[in-house]
Amino acid sequence: MGNLGATEIILILLVVVLLFGGRKIPELMKGIGQGMKEFKKASKLDDDSEKVSAEPKSEEKK
């Protein structure tokens, strides 16, 4: 269980076309792509901030 075969993928695509129509699918894919781009950007920024906070800060002695 968990492996999708060709039949299952075709069935899922058919249901998506029936639900959203042919004209809405490009808009839907564009929205998904933008969401993924924002997620990657946020996770990259989070990784960068962890690296900065993990580095010890040098204290200046006067």
Band (pLDDT 50/70/90 cuts) for residue 58 is low
For residues 28 and 20, is the Cβ–Cβ distance under 8 A?
yes
Entry pTM: 0.49
CA–centroid distance for 28 within its chain: 14
Residue boundaries of the structural domains of the chain:
6-48
What digits encode the pLDDT tens for the residues 14-47? 898 888 888 888 888 899 999 999 999 988 887 7
Write down the pLDDT at residue 19: 86
Band (pLDDT 50/70/90 cuts) for residue 7 is very high
Q: Is the dihedral of CA 10, 13, 19, 22 positive or negative?
A: negative
Q: Is 62 helix (H, G, I), strand (E, B) or coil?
A: coil
